[in-house]
């Protein structure tokens, strides 16, 4: 069964939070018929990210395909997007059909703020644990690289987003594709301090 993996981008998205997972997920999907990794934003205009990188989305909210996986990066924009009804409503709408919902770093704020993490255990960047605990809707874990609670995945920061994506590759495609992907990106050690809830 072919899958579509969507990566949300927005003004102020932290570049490595989505570029790292993009590299992992596109390497894993390469050569697999129908598998697709796409960038999605509110509009099709270039998106200016946290450090100034300009990225052109593949789809807008209006024309995005059905998704099997959605990944939300962090950055200052993730906290601002909580106040954007278009983003929050789109996330809520696509959530129902996604097998996996993931965030990297402070993308957890948007995950929690949109209600997608309600009742789940999640994590975020260590500098933002207290602030995320100030929001209702999720139990916040600290001291772990990433958390898997049911179908919700959250990574603590930039490099742990890569580790989380590699874990997801194994779930989606199996151990052989995981090993191929790790070799391709020259990643030679397993994730550490992972919390698997269910």
User: Model pTM?
Assistant: 0.93
- Per-residue pLDDT, averaged over 153-169, amounts to 93
**Among candidates 64, 130, 73, which has minimal Cα distance to 98?**
64
H-type helices in 2-53, by residue range?
Answer: 15-29
- Per-residue pLDDT, averaged over 164-179, amounts to 95
- Please state, in angstroms and as integers, the Cα–Cα distance from residue 8 to each residue in 59, 99, 169, following that order: 10, 16, 18
Tell me the pLDDT of the chain averaged across its residues.
93
Give the count of alpha carbons within 13 A of 43, CB side only: 6
Q: Check residue 194 and give its pLDDT.
A: 65
Q: Which of 22-36, 60-74, 107-121, 181-195 has the lowest mean pLDDT?
A: 181-195
Report how far residue 125's alpha carbon sits from residue 104's, in angstroms, rounded to the nearest whole number. 8
Q: What is the pLDDT of residues 59-79, one digit of tens each?
A: 999 999 999 999 999 999 999
Q: How confident is the model at residue 158 (pLDDT cuts 50, 70, 90)?
A: confident
Q: Check residue 191 and give its pLDDT.
A: 64
Q: What percent of the chain has pLDDT over 90?
A: 87
Report how far residue 96's alpha carbon sits from residue 193's, in angstroms, rounded to the nearest whole number. 29
- Per-residue pLDDT, averaged over 163-170, amounts to 95
Domains by residue range for the chain, with CATH: 4-196 (3.40.50.880)
Q: Check residue 157 and give its pLDDT.
A: 87
Q: Check residue 195 and give its pLDDT.
A: 66
Q: Check residue 188 and give its pLDDT.
A: 77
* pLDDT surpassing 90 at residue 25: yes
* pLDDT surpassing 70 at residue 193: no
Q: Check residue 184 and give its pLDDT.
A: 94
Q: Check residue 136 and give its pLDDT.
A: 81
């Amino acid at each position: 069964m072919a899958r579509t993996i969507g990566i949300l981008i927005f003004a102020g998205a932290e570049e490595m939070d989505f570029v790292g997972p993009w590299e992992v997920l596109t390497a894993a999907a390469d050569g697999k018929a129908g598998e697709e990794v796409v960038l999605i934003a509110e509009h099709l205009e270039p998106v200016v990210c946290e450090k100034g990188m300009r990225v052109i989305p593949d789809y807008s909210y209006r024309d995005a395909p059905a998704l099997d996986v959605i990944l939300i990066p962090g950055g200052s924009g993730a906290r601002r997007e909580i106040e954007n009804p278009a983003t929050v409503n789109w996330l809520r709408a696509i959530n129902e059909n996604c097998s996996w919902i993931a965030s990297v770093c402070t993308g957890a704020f948007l995950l929690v703020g949109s209600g997608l993490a309600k009742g789940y255990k999640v994590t975020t960047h260590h500098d933002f644990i207290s602030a995320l605990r100030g929001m209702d809707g999720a139990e916040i874990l600290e001291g772990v690289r990433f958390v898997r609670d049911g179908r919700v995945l959250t990574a603590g920061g930039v490099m742990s987003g890569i580790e989380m994506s590699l874990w997801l590759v194994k779930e989606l495609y199996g151990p052989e594709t995981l090993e191929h992907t790790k070799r391709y990106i020259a990643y030679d050690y397993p994730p550490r301090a992972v919390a698997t809830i269910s």
